[in-house]
Amino acid sequence: MPIEIIPSILVKTREELVEKIIAVEPYADSVHLDIADGIFVPNITILGFEETETVETDLKIGVHLMVSKPENHIVRWLATPADKFIFHIEATQKAQEIIDTIKEADKLVGIAINPQTPTDSIKPFIDFIDFVHFMTVEPGFYGGEFVESVLDKIADFHYFYPDKPIEVDGGINPETAPKLVKAGASILVAGSYIWESKDVGKAVAELKSVVSG
């Protein structure tokens, strides 16, 4: 299976969003837009709705909702061109309702689970989602510490659900990426490794090369 590398964008202004989109456009098919509400995580980003509607790009936009009660946000998001949504199991009691709403709109949905959240918490929903989104850092910021124990969690999940795509978010670099792919991940979301490099295209290419073959 080809491994997908998706740059993540976590910004506080529209200008920063545009800058980052332009920077990765030549090297990616899609981006991962982090949305933080200051409640579910201790950080606040752009709200994202209007920015996603007005930014000019051919990139596909996936939205990572690091927000409390995502059920209150999702209908507004479905009116934007974003085509993939990730919400946290820790943030809602209404997971099935959110999944159904997204699938009725014919868009992709994944559930995110934090490093310390047991995989059992998403068991009832696995058949209804397009992928599982494993967090390998505590959510909220670029540059969090990679939580090594999630590797076993991913491998266990992959053993029991070999056909369910696994996306991983947090601390992806040339050292962690191959370990994650070996454990069963096929989509890797990378932030600081790309943005802190001097050459964005080279950083994306490096991540691709360490997981190919």
Applying CB under 5 A, which of residues 20, 64, 73, 84 lies at the interface with Zn ion?
64
> Beta strands 166-169 and 131-135: pairing type?
parallel
Look up residue 176 and give its DSSP letter.
H
156 belongs to the catalytic site: no
- Closest contact distance (angstroms) between CB of 128 and ligand DX5 is 22
Is 127 annotated as catalytic?
Answer: no
User: What's the rounded Cα separation, in Å, for the pair 193 and 42?
Assistant: 22
Those residues whose C-beta lies under 8 Å from the C-beta of residue 128, and which sit 6 or more positions away, are 96, 99, 100, 103
**Closest CB to ligand DX5 among 100 and 200?**
200
- Is 84 a binding residue for Zn ion by CB under 5 A? The answer is no
Binding-residue pattern over the window 22 to 61 for Zn ion, x denoting contact by CB under 5 A: ------------x---------------------------
Distance of closest approach, residue 36 Cβ to ligand DX5, in angstroms? 7
> How does DSSP classify residue 37?
B
Catalytic site residue from 29, 34, 83, 130: 34
Q: Does residue 60 contact residue 38 with C-beta atoms inside 8 Å?
A: no
Nearest to 126 by CA among 153, 87, 99, 107: 99
Q: Which residues pair with 104 in a beta bridge?
A: none
**Does 48 engage in binding with ligand DX5 (CB under 6 A)?**
no
* Cβ 96 to Zn ion shortest distance, Å: 22
Buried-exposed string 83-120: b where 16+ CB fall within 10 A, e elsewhere: ebbbbbbbbbebbeebbebbeeeebbbbbbbbbebebe
142 binds ligand DX5 (CB under 6 A): yes
Q: Which stretch binds ligand DX5 (CB under 6 A): 21-29, 96-104, 159-167, 187-195?
A: 187-195
Phi, psi (degrees; rounded to nearest 5) at 22: -60, -40
Contact positions toward Zn ion, by CB under 5 A?
Answer: 34, 64, 169
Catalytically annotated residues: 34, 169
* Interaction site with ligand DX5 (CB under 6 A): 8, 10, 32, 34, 64, 137, 139-144, 169-172, 189-193
